[in-house]
Chains A and B, each alone.
Chain A
Amino acid sequence: MRFWLYILFLGVTLVGYAKQDQEGTLPDAGEEPVEGLDSMYYLNDVVVTGTRTPKLLKDAPIQTRLITSADIEKVDATNAEDLLQQEMPGVEFSYAMNQLKHMNLCGFGGQGILFLVDGERLAGETMDDVDFTRLNMANVERIEIVKGAASALYGSNAGGGVINIITKEGTEPWTLNLNGRLARHNERRFGGSYGVNGTQLKNMLNVNHTSIDNYNVHNAPNPATQVVATVYGDRTWNIKDRLSYTLNDHLKLIGRLGYFYREQTRTADAPERFRDFSAGLRGLWDITQKDNLELSYSFDQYDKSDYHKITHMDVRDYRNVQNIFKGLYNHYWQTGNILTLGADFMHDYLMNKNLGSRTESQNTFDAFAQYDWLINTQWEVVGAVRYDYFSDSKDSQFTPKLSARYQPISNLNLRFGYGMGFRAPALKEKYYNFDAAGIWIIRGNPDLKSELSHNFNASADYTTGHYNFTLSAYYNDVQNKLATGVPHYLPGDDKQLYLDYTNLAGYSVYGGDATVQARWDNGLSVRFSYAYTNERLPKDKEGNTINNQYIPARKHSLTARIDWDKQFSSNYGLRLSLNGRYLSDVKNVEFIDYYDISKGTSTIHYPAYTYWKFSAVQRIGKAFKVTTALDNLLNYKPKYHYFNSPLTDGINLMVGLSVDIDKLF
C-alpha cells in the first residue's frame, strides 16, 4: 500500500512539475499543432499489419498498438517476453511443465496469436507456443500488435490477433554497434550489429548472445499446486543478416538469412538444444504508381535435439520445416481506395518422435481479397475475405472481416469491426502419441475440426495537448476450441489414462483496455495502461469441466512507465525510467485427482503481484551509453513460484554498455 502511495505521489509530483514547466514554455494545449502531437505519439509512423498495406498509425482503419525501438530501449528488453509483458497489459507469460513458456494475450494462447517476423510465420512450437527466445529485440525497428481476429488476412492461428516484429534497415552510410549487459546468476547479454547503406545495396548483420545459469528459488511449505524450484537458464546465439538491393526505382529485392541456437540444461548429461535456420527472398515491384506486387519465398526450420554428453551424440527428436511462397498485389485509386489481392502456399513438414508415424506433412493454400474504401475524410471501411485449404484433412475455411474507422474531428478516431478467426488443427494435435511420464497418454485426434472465433471490437483514440487516450473493447466467441479434453480410460482398461485432443464446446472471452499517455517538453513522459479480461472457461461438449491446459488470464492488469530524459550538454544526457506492472489474482479450476475425476475439481488461487524496474541510461558523447538498472525493484519474492509467478529470487542489478563505433569518427 505504501508503495502505491509512493507511486501516486511520484506521478502527481512529476505531472505537477511538468505542468509548471509547460506553463512557461508551451502554447495552450488547444493551440498545439496537430503535426506536433502526431509525432509525439508516433501517429505519423507507418504501420502495415492491420491491412497489409502501409498506413499512418493515425489513419490505420484497424487499431494497431505500436511499440517502437525507443520503447524497447527504455524497457531494456532482451526478447519478446521481456518487452510484451512490460509494455502491454493483458499479456502474461506463464509456464508449463519443464518451464516451457506459454503466452496469454487477452484470453488467447500461443496458437491463437500469430507471431510474424517481417511478415513471415515462425516454424516450431513447444506446448503450442513459438520459441520466444528466438524473438530477440536487438535489431527490432518496431512491433505492431493487432488484437482481434485477423484470419481474413493471415489465415490460421490469427484468431486472437497478430504480433508483427519488423526488423531494422540501416539509414546511415555505415553503422557498427557493440553492446553488453551483465546481471545476477551470471546473466550475460552481448550483441553487435554492422550495417552498410549504399545507394543500391544495404546490409544489416546482427549477432547476439545471451546466457544465464540455472538457479534455485525458495518456496514455502505446502503449495496448493505445482511450483518451480529450479529456474532453468540457457545459452542462446542469434545471428541474422538482411540484404536489400534496389535495382531501380521500381524493383527491390530483400534477402535474409538467420541462425538461432539455444541450449538449456535440465539434465546435466543431456542438455536440450534448439536450432532454427531461416532464409527468405522478397521482391517488391512497383509496376506503376498505382500498382505494386510483392512476391516472396520463406524457409524456416526449427529443430530440437538432446546432446548426450557421455556419448557425444547430438540426437534430433523434432523438426518442423515450413516452405512458404507468397504473392501480394495492391492497386491504389486516386481517391485513396486500395484493392489488395493475395495468395500463399505453404508446405508444412513435421518430424516428432512422439508422432504415431514419426513424420507428417501437409500443404496449405489460400487466397484472399481486401478492399479499403475511403468513403470521405471521415469514414473508411475495409472488407476482406479469405479462403484456406488444408491438404491433410482436405478441409477448407472461409473467413470474412469488416472494419470501419470514423473520424468526427481531426484528433479523434473511432474504430469498430467484426472478424472471423480460425485455427486449423496442427499436425501434432492430429497425430500425437505421447506417454506423459506414465501419467497419461496424450493422443492426437485426426477428426479434429478447425477452431472458429467471432470477434467484435470497438475502440477510440483521442489526442489533445500533451495527452493521448485510447479505449478499446472486444468480445470473442470461440467455437470448437482445440485443446485436450477430459482424461479417460478405454473400455476394459482401468489402468491407463488417455488425454485426447478434442474440440471443446463454446467458449468466450471479453474485455477491454484503456491507455493514457502524456509527454512534455521538459523530457517527462508517462504512460498508464489497464486491461480487463474475462474468460468464460471452456467445457467439453458433454458439459464436463475440463482440466484447463493453461492458467487463465488475470482479470485486471496494469502497466505503467514514467520516463524523464534530459540532455545536459552536448556530451552528456540522462534518461531515468520506471517501468512496472500489476497483475490481479486469478483462480483456476483443476482436478483434485487426475486419476479419479469423479472426485471433482478444486479452485486454485494464484495471487496478485506487482513487478517494477528502474533504469538509468547515461549518454556520454555521441557513442557511449551506460545503462544501470534495478530489475525487480521492490525485491518481490513469490511465496510460491507457481507456473504464472515471475521466476525471480529478488532484486537484480543490471549493468550495460553500448558503443556506436561509427560515431567515434
Chain B
Amino acid sequence: MFDDIYDEPQEQVDIKEGQLYIDASSWTDWHYINLTATENKVVKMSIPTEALPSPNGEGAEGLYTYWYDVFGEGLSKHEFRGFTPTISQPEPDEWHIAVHRNNVRTNGGAAYETPYTSMNDLPESSEAFANATFTEDVWNELDVWTIQAQMLQGLIGNQGIKVNPVLSLWLTVSLPPVPPVFTLNNHVFIIKFNDGTYGAIQLENYQSPTGVKCCLTINYKYPY
C-alpha cells in the first residue's frame, strides 16, 4: 500500500548529448574516458593489487596501507602502516581523464575550478580562462582507496598514483561519521589537456537511480 508516495527508479539512466554515466563505485577499477571516441568512450581497467617481490621501477607504485582515525579526528589524522609494490597502473592508448569513485586523474593535463554551476552559463570559449591558474596532477597515496578489507580497523590500502587535487574536489568524502558523508560540488571545471586543447566538465550526480554512490553522471563539453 501507499506505493504512489514513492518513486520507482529506472534501471537505465537517460543520457543526454554531452553527458556520460559511469558506475565508478568499484574500489578496484579506474574508468578511462576518451572524450573524442565515438564508441567505447569509457574503458575500465583494474588497479593492480598483486604484490611484486620487489618495487617496480622507481619503487613508488603500489599499495600504501594507512591507518586513519576514522572514528576520532577523521581522515586528516593518519599513519603509514605498510607498502606493497605492484606493477604500474595499466592505461589505454588514448584517454583524457580517469575516474575512480571520488578521485579524478588527467592524462598529463591540469584543471581549474570555475564559479559556474551550469554548463550553459560558461563563456563562449576557454579563452576566458587564459589567465586562470591550472593545477596539475600530484602524487597521492592517501585517497585512492583500493583495499577495504580492514576498513573497520581504520586500515585502508591506497593506490599510490598521481591524481588531480582540483578535479577531485567535485565529490568529497568525509569521515567521520561512519559511513562517510559524500558532498557534491557542482561547479564546472576547465581542463587543459596535454595536447593544448581544453574541455569543460561537471559532476551532475554521484548516485545511481537506486542510490548507489559513486555512480557518476558527468556533463562535458569538448573541445571547449
Interface residues, chain A, with chain B CB atoms under 8 Å away = 97-98, 219, 221-223, 225-230, 232, 266-270, 275, 277, 301, 303, 305-306, 308, 310-311, 313-317, 321, 353, 437-439, 495, 497, 593-595
Contacts and interface: CB of A to CB of B under 8 A. Distances in A.
B72 A306 contact: no
Given A223-B71, A595-B149, A315 B9 contact: yes
A249 to B, nearest CB: 36
- Chain A interface helix/strand/loop/mixed: loop
Contact of A267 (B5, B74, B182): B182
Interface of B: 1-2, 5-9, 27, 71-74, 148-153, 176-179, 181-184, 204-207, 209-211
Contacts of A303: 2, 5-6
Nearest to A232: B177
Given A229-B177, A315-B7, A595 B153 contact: yes
B210 to A, nearest CB: 6
A221 B71 CA distance: 10
Contacts, number: 98
Given A311-B205, A313-B7, A439 B2 contact: no
A257 B163 CA distance: 56
A594 B5 contact: no
Contacts of A232: 177
B71 A225 contact: yes
A495 B149 contact: yes
Contacts of B206: 269
A437 B177 contact: no
B178 A314 contact: no
- Chain B interface helix/strand/loop/mixed: loop
A301 B72 CA distance: 37
Given A225-B71, A227-B71, A269-B184, 13 more contacts: A97-B178, A228-B177, A230-B177, A232-B177, A308-B209, A308-B211, A310-B184, A310-B207, A315-B7, A317-B211, A321-B1, A595-B149, A595-B152
B73 to A, nearest CB: 7
A266 B149 CA distance: 24
A593 B205 contact: no
B184 A438 contact: no
B151 A438 contact: yes
The 3 A-B residue pairs with the shortest CB-CB distance in the complex, in nearest-first order: A438-B148, A313-B7, A229-B176
Contacts of A313: 7, 9, 209
A639 B178 CA distance: 19
B64 to A, nearest CB: 18
Nearest to A321: B1
Nearest to B13: A311
Contact of A301 (B2, B27, B71): B2
Contacts of B153: 593-595
Contact of A308 (B8, B74, B207): B207
B72 A222 contact: yes
Given A305-B6, A315-B6, A595-B153, A227 B207 contact: no
Nearest to B9: A315
A268 B173 CA distance: 12
Contacts of B151: 437-439
Contacts of A222: 72
A162 to B, nearest CB: 28
Contacts of A308: 207, 209, 211
A591 to B, nearest CB: 9
B2 A277 contact: yes
A439 B152 contact: yes
23 contacts: A97-B178, A225-B71, A226-B178, A227-B176, A229-B71, A268-B181, A269-B184, A303-B5, A303-B6, A310-B184, A313-B9, A314-B6, A315-B8, A315-B9, A315-B210, A315-B211, A316-B6, A353-B210, A437-B179, A438-B149, A495-B149, A593-B153, A595-B149
Contacts of A306: 211
A232 B177 CA distance: 10
Nearest to B177: A230
A303 B4 CA distance: 13
B181 A267 contact: yes
Given A277-B1, A594-B152, A315 B209 contact: yes
B125 to A, nearest CB: 29
B221 to A, nearest CB: 20
A497 B151 CA distance: 12
A142 to B, nearest CB: 31
